[in-house]
Amino acid sequence: MDTSGKTISCRAAVAWAVGQPLSLEEVQVEPPRAGEVRIKMASTSICGTDARVLKGWLPLPFPLIPGHEGAGTVESVGPGVTSVRSGDLVLTLIIPQCRECQACLHPRGSFCDKQDVLPSSGLMLDGSSRFFCRGHSIYHSFRASTFTEFTVVPEISVAKIPAAAPLDRVCLLSCGVPTGYGAAVHAAQVTPGSTCVVIGLGGVGSAIILGCKVSGAARIIGVDINEDKFPGARKLGVTDVLNPGRLSRPLQEEIQEMTGGGADFVFEAAGLPETLLAAWESCHKSYGTCLAVGLSPDDSKLVLNATPIITGHTLKGVCLGGYKTRDCVPQMVSDYLQGRLDIDPLVTHQLPFAKLQEAMELYRAGKPIRCVLLF
């Protein structure tokens, strides 16, 4: 049946308020307007950012349809859309690439002005929503809501990917993998023989390990308070593991001693101000680089001692690997298809979308690296 131009009723997860369990509901998804794309989702995975949204750590308006790491097929496009058409395989992008704003036009810019993360309106670019449920208008999350059988996103938030891409896997290439891999390979430019530290060994931390390994890091120290994450991290290339909960002194002191004066590259992927401070203080004071990848709670502050800043180490924030997303994400999918990037070990769990609650419980229990939900 041709659904283009019509409102579609389908199943979606709605978060009615902060801290409430997700509710599987029948929602109405309006057709895409000018510059928009409606996607039939094939898979989505749970990113740490979704869990933080649901806890209220990021200021998004509710009720909303969460999720942003997703893969699917274009169902229909709105007027003026030229880069994709019905039937194309696509990934949703939390950071768009409009190719017109100052960030997009700058050779090193990647945080497109048309993003809806910081701050977040929960609405499409024209200031309205495409989702309705039980008579209420429902907000989008990051203009990428993926916990729904159909979603509408801006064309600039869509990466067209090769027709051969397995949609049950490549959803990870929508956020978690480019975020972590790009932080190491692109933003930090990890050097051969270097010592790296990765704090937080979830999906993003695991992708950072992949990036450190491919860059030739000699030593990769993995840090997590959940020791269940250690065997998987070792398989990916971690050489040493640390649980800060078991240390008799602060993590940064331990790392300073283990590395004889500080690491070359320290990645924070736990998303807490205290681990970000520990990451900064774990760098070599002269030439170390600290990469802030995790999203700390909205109102948190990072307080640094001002004097040692002059010694030479670098603090750098990075979003989605610092990539120009629509250019680089399809390339990563090709790299995966051609065997140059192995993301399969990161998919530790797979469930049907109807079991989203179970998947959220697994996430809260710290079990998966990534849990993929299949529609």
Ligand X SMILES: NC(=O)c1ccc[n+]([C@@H]2O[C@H](COP(=O)([O-])OP(=O)(O)OC[C@H]3O[C@@H](n4cnc5c(N)ncnc54)[C@H](O)[C@@H]3O)[C@@H](O)[C@H]2O)c1
Interaction site with ligand X (CB under 6 A): 47-49, 52, 175-176, 179, 199-205, 223-226, 229, 244, 269-272, 275, 293-295, 318-320, 366
Alpha carbons 60 and 325: distance in angstroms, whole number: 22
Query: Nearest approach, Cβ of 163 to ligand X (angstroms)?
Result: 27
DSSP letter for 315, please: E
Residues 6 or more apart whose CB falls under 8 angstroms from that of 372 comprise 43, 44, 45, 168, 169, 171, 172, 347, 349, 350, 351
Q: Which two tokens stand for residue 366?
A: 């710290």
Query: Nearest approach, Cβ of 225 to ligand X (angstroms)?
Result: 5
The 138-177 contact track toward Zn ion, x by CB under 5 A, reads: -------------------------------------x--
The structure tokens 């992927």 sit at 269
Residues 6 or more apart whose CB falls under 8 angstroms from that of 174 comprise 68, 69, 70, 71, 91, 92, 93, 94, 159, 329
Whole-Å CA distances, 107 to 20, 101, 187, 231, 322? 42, 12, 13, 39, 11
Residues 62 to 91: which contact Zn ion by CB under 5 A?
none
Query: Nearest approach, Cβ of 47 to ligand X (angstroms)?
Result: 5
Query: Nearest approach, Cβ of 103 to Zn ion (angstroms)?
Result: 5
Cβ closest to ligand X, residue 140 vs residue 229: 229
Q: Can you name the residues that pair with 326 across neighbouring β-strands?
A: none
Residues 203 to 262: which contact Zn ion by CB under 5 A?
none
For residue 138, the SS3 value is strand
* Partner touching 294 among ligand X, Zn ion, none, CB below 5 to 8 Å by kind: ligand X
* Partner touching 205 among Zn ion, ligand X, none, CB below 5 to 8 Å by kind: ligand X
Cβ closest to ligand X, residue 47 vs residue 356: 47
In this structure, the strands spanning 195-199 and 158-161 are: unpaired
* Partner touching 295 among Zn ion, ligand X, none, CB below 5 to 8 Å by kind: ligand X
Residues 6 to 35: which contact Zn ion by CB under 5 A?
none
DSSP E strands in 100-225: the ranges are 131-133, 136-140, 150-154, 158-161, 195-199, 219-223
Cβ closest to ligand X, residue 205 vs residue 288: 205
* Partner touching 225 among ligand X, Zn ion, none, CB below 5 to 8 Å by kind: ligand X
Cβ closest to ligand X, residue 68 vs residue 130: 68
The structure tokens 């990036």 sit at 211
Q: Over the range 9-41, which residues count as b (16 or more CB within 10 Å of their CB) and which as e?
A: ebbbbbbbeeeeebeebebbbbbbbebbbbbbb
Q: Which part of the chain contacts Zn ion (CB under 5 A), choosing from 3-11, 54-62, 92-100, 291-299?
A: 92-100
Query: Nearest approach, Cβ of 278 to ligand X (angstroms)?
Result: 8
Query: Nearest approach, Cβ of 274 to ligand X (angstroms)?
Result: 7
* Partner touching 112 among Zn ion, ligand X, none, CB below 5 to 8 Å by kind: Zn ion
Phi and psi angles of residue 48, each rounded to the nearest 5 degrees, phi first: -55, -30
Query: Nearest approach, Cβ of 29 to Zn ion (angstroms)?
Result: 22
112 is a site residue for Zn ion (CB under 5 A): yes
Cβ closest to Zn ion, residue 30 vs residue 116: 116
Q: Which part of the chain contacts Zn ion (CB under 5 A), choosing from 7-15, 97-105, 265-273, 288-296?
A: 97-105
Cβ closest to ligand X, residue 241 vs residue 374: 241
Rg (CA), the chain: 20
Residues 6 or more apart whose CB falls under 8 angstroms from that of 254 comprise 242, 247
* Partner touching 101 among Zn ion, ligand X, none, CB below 5 to 8 Å by kind: Zn ion
Query: Could you tell me if 70 and 151 are in contact, meaning their C-beta atoms sit under 8 angstroms apart?
Result: yes
Out of 74, 89, 104, 198, the only residue in the binding site for Zn ion (CB under 5 A) is: 104
Q: Can you name the residues that pair with 12 across neighbouring β-strands?
A: 25, 148
**Which residues form the interface with Zn ion (CB under 5 A)?**
47, 49, 98, 101, 104, 112, 175
